[in-house]
């Protein structure tokens, strides 16, 4: 006899991907169906080229959002959604751009990827959070930065997903060469701010960072060179507590660009683990 279910039971984890086409609602109504078909074709091509044909054909959950999709998958092979899928998608979108008919709209795609408990009801923090990641100003700015540098897609990873894949060595991508660490914030009508990692296949983290600088010119970039660790935390604590740093987000440039958050009490969050070690 099986044990009775309890409301405190923790559901199995799933990887949740949400996908959104840039400026889809601004496209004339008559052009939206062919644009959605082009988007679907590009995604199918990217999934298939990444060894995820079965996941595309039979996701554990899927929802058509009009200008995109939300999909859930068993975590086993979801490292492929971090790489190589975005690279294949970017190439498929490049092909669309070259081959599209005159007057056809441009197509660029932003994505957010998260992992967490996902019950049969599909009511969970994980699916709520991935929706907020994709709607954040961080995701939108990342895609604008990618497009400005010749790219067509940008991916926002939750910190949980980043640690499962990049942090655990399940990818050839590296933190230093491929990712910009910056909080996902500024979600319309939501009080939301969580650590995230931005990746655009054609664009370096440094180039992406310049677009975030332009969006928030008052946010200073603190050059720390190779001096990670307690020194970085000490400098940021000191600046915040003294009132000389009247911001909530700064970036420390090491080999690439990473972001840390500072709350109004001057507490630093989002630093690398070694940043809190003496």
DSSP letters, 205-251, are HHHHHHHHHHH-TTS-EEE-TT--THHHHHHHHHHHHHTS---SEEE
pLDDT value of residue 216: 55
Residue 29 confidence (pLDDT): 96
Ramachandran angles phi, psi of 153, nearest 5°: -150, 155
CATH fold of 13-217 reads Alpha-Beta Plaits (3.30.70)
- pLDDT confidence of residue 215: 63
- Output DSSP code: residue 263: -
Give the model's pLDDT for residue 219: 40
What are the pLDDT digits (tens) for 29-40?
Answer: 999 999 999 999
**According to the model, what pLDDT value does residue 41 have?**
98
* Strand extents, DSSP E, the chain: 13-21, 61-64, 68-73, 109-117, 153-158, 180-181, 196-199, 221-223, 249-253, 257-262, 268-269
**Per-residue model confidence (pLDDT) at position 61:** 97
For residue 204, give the nearest of 138, 140, 137, 154 by alpha carbon.
154
Can you give the residue ranges of every domain in the chain?
13-217, 220-278
- Kindly give the parts of the chain with pLDDT less than 70: 1, 214-278
pLDDT digits (tens, 9 = 90+) for 179-188: 999 999 999 9
Burial class (CB in 10 A: 0-12, 13-18, 19+), 223: exposed
């Amino acid at each position: 006899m099986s044990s009775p279910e309890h409301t405190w039971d923790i559901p199995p984890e799933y990887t949740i991907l949400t996908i959104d086409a840039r400026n889809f609602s601004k496209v004339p109504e008559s052009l939206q169906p062919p644009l959605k078909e082009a988007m679907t074709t590009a995604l199918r091509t990217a999934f298939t080229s990444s060894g995820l044909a079965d996941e595309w054909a039979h996701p554990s959950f899927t929802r058509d959002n009009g200008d995109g999709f939300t999909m859930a998958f068993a975590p086993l092979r979801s490292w492929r959604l971090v790489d190589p899928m975005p690279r294949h998608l970017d190439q498929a979108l490049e092909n669309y751009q070259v081959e599209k008919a005159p007057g056809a709209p441009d197509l660029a795609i932003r994505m957010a990827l998260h992992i967490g408990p996902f019950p049969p009801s599909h009511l969970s923090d994980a699916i709520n959070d991935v929706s907020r990641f994709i709607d954040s100003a961080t995701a939108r700015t990342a895609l604008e930065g990618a497009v400005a540098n010749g790219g067509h897609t940008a991916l926002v990873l939750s910190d949980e997903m980043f640690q499962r894949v990049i942090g655990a060595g399940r990818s050839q991508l590296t933190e230093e060469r491929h990712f910009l660490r910056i909080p996902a914030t500024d979600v319309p009508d939501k009080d939301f701010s969580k650590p995230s990692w931005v990746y655009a296949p054609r664009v370096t983290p440094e180039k992406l960072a310049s677009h975030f600088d332009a969006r928030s010119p008052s946010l200073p970039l603190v050059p720390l060179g190779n001096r990670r660790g307690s020194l970085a935390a000490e400098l940021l604590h000191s600046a915040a507590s003294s009132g000389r740093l009247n911001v909530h987000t700064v970036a420390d440039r090491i080999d690439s660009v990473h972001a840390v958050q500072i709350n109004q009490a001057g507490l630093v969050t989002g630093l690398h683990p070694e940043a809190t070690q003496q």
